[in-house]
Structure 1
Amino acid sequence: MQKYKLNNLIKIISQKSLLCIFIAVIFLSSCKSISTVDYQNTQLVDKKVSTKVQNLHKRLFLISKKGFAISQQDATSYGIGWKYSSDLKDIELKSDVYEIVNDYPGGFGFDLGGIEHGNTINLDTVPFNDMRKLMVEAYKNGGLVTASWHLGNPVTGGSSWDTSGTNVIPQILKGGAFHEKYRTWVKRLADFLKSVQYNNEPIPIIFRPFHEMNGSWFWWGGENVTAIDYIKLWRETVVMLRDEYNVHNLLYVYSPNKLEPQDDYMKYYPADAYVDILGIDIYDFYNTEDYVKAIKHDLKIVKEKAEERKKLYAFTETGLEKLNTENWFTEILYPNIKNTGIAWVLFWRNYTVNHFYMPYKTQLLENDLIKFSKYPETLFLKEVQQIKTKK
């Protein structure tokens, strides 16, 4: 009897051990699949790109397999009722998002508009010295750093939205009357991008210039340009940054605006050799049905075009100003992006109570953002930090 009990006990222990081993193998296999599955060392725009940028590219791929990084423009630069101050002895990151979900966004957006003029502050009154610190801090903490460039009109002297000057692009391309002026602008941009350093090396930045070019609100888009001239501008700018000014810490993103029925997503595409990531900007203007339709239609096209080219893709701008639609994050946005394969989604900035795209304390969608943050695919900073590449 004792021998039977002992043999039975050994059998039970063996079965449990095998079960534990099986579970461990499955767990390790799943971890391995997340970290290595299908990733290819895609040829990037810059052949001299830094190792940090190569690692960023792979991290973006890994992120897209797990979910998507929740990002926000100027998330730590300012918010509702506060603004970052470099007068603090230590970097103290504040964020409206953090106040609600106890975590920062996984991606941090910045804008370089104004750097071309040699200004000390950008077009949204963020000092470039502060921006540099916040970019580095975001990178140190494991977050993604993205940058757009709302550059002024080099011909008229106006803003990005000054479309009064006709045929701006031909005048700033090689041989144009304003080419040298534009070269100076790109040099100032390059100097800043190279100056954003951690441990004496420029940090990797996801750079998104000349965005929403299929619309006519910027001097570089729509009725104000031809597709051929736009493509020339993109290519010349990349060559200046990469080959002349030795900027090697960038991934380049192509991001049209929401597609109208007559729009061709690839119309302004500069070619695979000049683009690392594909994206799209779509906003909800309190036209929920149209917004959802656009997300489904446009992201499907972006995904198809990106996968054909073995490139990453993202939802490069979105949001609902003032967030007055109940459960917008969980019932309108999330169901339509959860299985799209995007690497990140970027919400626009929180500037004033009349112009914000993420909830703040006591705002209507505070609890909706909390619920949104708990979905497995919505990756805020703590989860993005855990997605690393092997050294």
Structure 2
Amino acid sequence: MRVKIWILLLLGTMLSCSVSQNEISEKDKLFKTLQSLKGKGVLFGHQDTYAYGYTWNDVEGQSDVKRVTGDYPAVFGWELGGIEEGKLANLDTVSFDNIRKYAIKAYGQGGINTFSWHPFSVIDGVDSWNTETRVVDKIIPGGDYHEAFKKDLDALADFLNSVITVEGVKVPFIFRPWHEMDGSWFWWGSDSCSPKELKELFRFTVQYLREEKAVNQMLVAYSPDRNFSTREEYLSWYPGDEYIDLIGMDNYYDLYTNGLLDEAIKKLHIIIDYANEKGKISAFTETGYENIPDSTWYTSKLGVVLSDSIVAANISYALVWRNDPLKHFFFPFPGHPSAKYAKEFTDREDILLLEDFKQIKNMD
């Protein structure tokens, strides 16, 4: 009997190790794929591209990017704010069941998923943009709401670990928590916590998800906003190399304000230099122009930034924000004046949509 029990325990251990190695393999595969893109092109990404768009909502196979370009984006962004409260849909009204379905579909089609998280405060339930209550110092280790915050992370981890293919593969992804911390608009931002507190929150979040909740299929992104001009300023909120896989930046302002394109490029150079020095991925993690009032924006602004020789040779992807049919859009729809310029931009050989990305992977 003892021999049988020992054999069963051994088999269980071997199975567990096999699953763990598979998860690590998927994450490492994603990292290597992104690194291998250097000099081959910049992946184009779009938030919520399957979920909704101009005049439509949750239509199978639909995407405003595909309607304009003939192909899907290569990077698919999804938002998880609200999962921590047990809601059925995120703060942008996309159901979590659909987000799971969309992320699995994107992975199956050969794309890359990235998750952002704008959580509601565990203290008073207000959204991420409410800065009236200081939150971070109360949810980090030693804070009065730390145990409650761990339950938020439990709910987040349960969802992330439920994004599994029919073959049983936990879908790898890029996780981008606590972004734009150098701005003042979030309760984890520059007016609501210190860099020391934010670093502690960031470290705990990553450690807890990886070590306690076995979320081993994720790459982690660090993405301040545009409020820096030196490496030292950029790293003011940086939790440490051991916690970060991808070095990025969110930047809207520099790309719609006249005369600031060079500033955007210089900031990406800072990011690229640090990423290359540390052997990490670099990316333009979030950008766009709300409702695209400048019809040439994709060619005259984003296209110019991504044409810089250093940027083009190093950045793995650039993602624009979502097309909410009731609120705003950041990628044009058919008939919009900017559609032809967006098509011209995505037709460039160095801008990679999904099929372009798959062709490059097949050649490697």
Which residue of structure 2 lines up, in the alignment, with residue 10 of structure 1?
A: none
Aligned to 2:40: 66
List per-residue Cα deviations over 1:81-106 (Å, max 9, x = no partner): 11116xxxxxx221011011110011
Return the match for 2:325 from 352, 356, 361: 352
- The alpha-carbon deviation at position 319 of structure 1 amounts to 0.5
Letter in 1 for 2:126: G
* 1:298-330 superposed Cα distances (whole Å, 9 cap, x missing partner): 101111111121111100001111112132111
CA 261–57 in structure 1, closer or farther in 2 if over 3 Å, else same: closer
Distance, in Å, in 1 between the alignment partners of 2:211 and 2:255 is: 44
1:212 to 2:185 alignment: no
**Shift in Å at residue 157 of structure 1?**
1.4
| 1:195 correspondence with 2:135 | no
Decide whether the 8 Å contact of 1:259 with 1:298 is kept in 2.
no
TM-score, with length taken from structure 2:
0.89
SS at match of 2:123: coil
Q: 1:372 corresponds to which residue? A: 345
Q: Look up the match of 1:268.
A: 237
- Equivalent in the alignment of 2:113: 145
Cα offset for 1:388?
Answer: 2.5
Describe how 1:168-317 pairs up with structure 2 within 5 A.
168-198=135-165, 199-260=167-228, 264-284=233-253, 287-317=256-286
Distance 1:70 1:125 in 2: 24
Is the contact between residue 285 and residue 320 of structure 1 (CA under 8 Å) also seen in structure 2? no
Deviates more, 1:350-359 or 1:229-238: 350-359
| Structure 1 SS opposite 2:325 | coil
3-state SS, counterpart of residue 361 of structure 1: coil
Q: For residues 280 and 249 of structure 2, what CA distance do their matches in structure 1 show?
A: 14
Q: For residues 284 and 215 of structure 1, what CA distance do their matches in structure 2 show?
A: 12
Identical counterparts, % of pairs:
37
SS at match of 2:184: coil
Match of 1:106 in 2: 74
Matched positions, count: 339
CA distance in 2 between counterparts of 1:178 and 1:48 reads: 35
Task: Provide the residue aligned with 1:28 in structure 2.
Answer: none
The CA deviation string for residues 255-314 of structure 1, in whole angstroms up to 9 with x for no partner, is 000125598100000000000000001114784334413311210111111112111110
Residue 119 of structure 1 corresponds to 87
The alignment's C-alpha RMSD in Å is 2.0
Q: Contact (CA 8 Å) 1:282, 1:294: kept in 2 or not? A: no
* Letter paired with 1:151: P
> Is the contact made by 2:256 and 2:289 (CA closer than 8 Å) also made in structure 1?
no
Write the letter of the residue equivalent to 1:267.
Answer: S
TM-score normalised according to structure 1 size: 0.83
Larger Rg: 1
Deviation digits for residues 35-70 of structure 1 (CA, Å, limit 9, x no counterpart): xxxxxxxxxxx9995211111111111223311110
Query: Counterpart in 2 of 1:331?
Result: 300
Task: Identify the residue that residue 383 of structure 1 maps to in structure 2.
Answer: 356
Q: Cα 1:49–1:201, aligned 2, differ >3 Å: closer, same or farther?
A: closer
Give 1:336 shift.
Answer: 1.7
- Counterpart in the other structure of 1:362: 335
Q: 2:51 aligns with which of 62, 65, 77?
A: 77
Unpaired runs of at least 5, structure 1: 1-45, 86-91
Aligned-partner SS, 2:113: strand
- Is the contact between residue 162 and residue 218 of structure 1 (CA under 8 Å) also seen in structure 2? yes
Question: What CA distance in whole angstroms lies between the structure 2 residues aligned with 1:311 and 1:126?
Answer: 32
